Amino acid sequence: MGGVIVGTYFLSIFVALLLLPSTFAELNETRYDLRHSRFKIVDESEREGSNGLGGEISDSRKETKNIPVGGSDLDVAGIMITPSESGLNYVKEVLVDQILQEITPLALPDIKAHVDSPIGTIDTRISHIELSGANVSYSDVDLGKTGITVFAGDIQARLRLHWYYEYSAAYVPFPINDGGWADVEVNGMQAGVTFTLTTHNGTLRLTVVECGTFIDDLDIELNGGASWLYRWFVYAFDEEIRAAIETAISNKIVASAEQLDNYLQGLPRNLPIDDVSAIDVTIVGDPLVSPTFLSVGVKGEFTSLLKPINFTDPDHGLEPGLFCSDSTKMVTIALCDYVINSATTVYFEAGFLEWLVDELPQESWLNTHFWRWLIPQLYKKYPNMDMALDFACSTPPTVQLQRDGATANAMAELILLVKTDEKPLPVACISLALSMDAVVNVVGNNITAEATLNDLSLELKWSDVGNFPVNLLQPTLRTVISRVILPILNKKMKHGFPLPVLPAVDLENADIRYEEGHILICSDVYYKGGIFTPPPAPL
């Protein structure tokens, strides 16, 4: 028995010597890139038309979404999105966590070696290699001229594998073999990816520039067989194991980046609000990346789903890098007054800024008897007849955003109608100049507003019952506008319109800050998941 053990021991030493890198034996084995560089350059020509891993890009990435007709052709940013340092750190943590979930457990390819020697043939194999239990101790994000780098360091992971060898020779009556399992602790692993964000077909294109993984140390513990004899046998595969892990993880990171790119390419270029309008969320220009911030500009213009509208080109857009400077919130969304004014134009052109009022809190107001002291000739001509009020904006309302708040001005016409047996009969038209204060809020991922009447000016435009002093109508019409017209308008504005954030993200604890010509929405974000989740399989 002692002779067998000694013979096996020397045979194992011989096998290991043959497998060490310094040996002169010629190995027929699986090849890996053994360079321990931190990043591996990804050739852009390999990516064009492929997913970076040899697969074709799906047709959905090549499609361009149709944008509603109408609007301005001038590409200026009506909405600017700028993550803060805390926001970038949150994005980094989400990316690292999601990529770890995508990577582990990770099955690695088998590693084999076949050696023909003067004393016989030796076949060796490491199989069933699986990486699991990865933990990241440190991660960072860097904004540089070459792109955005996400780096994870001091990664600890576990590796489980099965080792096996078989020796045969003409003078040996039967093959000699042994095998067992090995547990490997992967220590000090580093992984990083650098990518760029550019505009592509109205959305963002994510392109991996560099990606790589480096392992500092492997601690191998063998189980089964004569494992105490063969520890160095597995260590002979140290370089191959490292290379297999590094290559597989780098490929997985690139695949996850491609998945994120596909998600971005599939985002809509416009967000429908209702049957009347949509908001144009195409990306304006390449994102601006600086050492201190990342800004993405969105057109933000409302477009009509009913008919083309030619807007007056805005005289300015939002500049990148707009921050809520003294805020700890994760993201700042700047919204230009042009966005809101494009919305009022669309709804004005669609006829949605006019209302027929035939019900009032005080029904007596809708009878000529109520107006007998204000417009005596109306009551004299149409005594005790029911009335209606036709309110319509004559031009699109305009909104001004200033440091002390938001105001809106509107020109409107109010037609007094008398209900006859045939149809309502217009008897007088009053021109209105309304000045309103507005309060902007964020509800969920939507921006909403509420208006209150500030000032009201009246002028008689025409009358079929003769001239009358319109100033006497001021208290009554203020009440009608405040209690009837504005509640109708506020009910519509209560639903608001969606801000251009990813569907997988919710805004939380948003604050509003007013600036000259724009507002700043300072908010935290919460990732709900879904970007890296594959779509459900068809039934």
Residue 503 pLDDT > 70, yes or no? Answer: yes
Query: What is the rounded distance in angstroms from the CA atom of residue 432 to the CA atom of residue 477?
Result: 10
Inter-CA distances, 322 with 84, 157, 248, 280, Å: 10, 41, 40, 21
- Of 198, 91, 199, 183, the residue nearest 141 (C-alpha): 91
Q: Give me the pLDDT at residue 118, please.
A: 66
Dihedrals phi, psi of 61, to nearest 5 degrees: -80, -20
Q: What is the CATH number that goes with domain 271-527?
A: 3.15.20.10
CB 379 within 8 A of CB 428: no
Least confident of 53-57, 133-137, 288-292: 53-57
Dihedrals phi, psi of 205, to nearest 5 degrees: -115, 125
- Of 233, 238, 243, the residue nearest 17 (C-alpha): 233
Residue 61 pLDDT > 50, yes or no? Answer: no
131 or 533, higher pLDDT: 131
CA angle at residue 346 from 344 to 349, to 5 degrees?
105
Residue with tokens 């600086």: 290
Residue 228 pLDDT > 70, yes or no? Answer: no
Same fold, 2-71+87-265 and 271-527: no
- Residue boundaries of the structural domains of the chain: 2-71+87-265, 271-527
Residues 6+ apart with CB under 8 A from 163: 124, 125, 126, 179, 180, 181, 182, 222, 230, 233, 234
Helix (H, G, I), strand (E, B) or coil at 332: strand
> What are the residues facing 404 on neighbouring strands?
none
Query: What is the rounded distance in angstroms from the CA atom of residue 481 to the CA atom of residue 493?
Result: 16
Query: What is the rounded distance in angstroms from the CA atom of residue 329 to the CA atom of residue 112?
Result: 53
- Of 17, 84, 522, 30, the residue nearest 294 (C-alpha): 84
CB 167 within 8 A of CB 11: yes
Residue 288 pLDDT > 50, yes or no? Answer: yes
Residue 514: pLDDT band (50, 70, 90) is very high
Q: Beta-carbon neighbour count of residue 470 at 10 Å?
A: 20
| pTM across the whole model | 0.78
Query: What is the rounded distance in angstroms from the CA atom of residue 195 to the CA atom of residue 48?
Result: 15
User: Would you give the DSSP letter of residue 59?
Assistant: G
Pairing of strands 176-200, 203-214: antiparallel
Residues 6+ apart with CB under 8 A from 380: none
- Of 330, 299, 289, the residue nearest 80 (C-alpha): 299
In 444-486, at which residue ranges do the beta strands (DSSP E only) sit? 446-463
Least confident of 127-131, 503-507, 530-534: 530-534
pLDDT per residue as tens digits for the range 73-120? 457 899 999 998 888 889 888 888 888 887 888 888 998 877 676 667
CATH superfamily of 2-71+87-265: Bactericidal permeability-increasing protein; domain 1 (3.15.10.10)
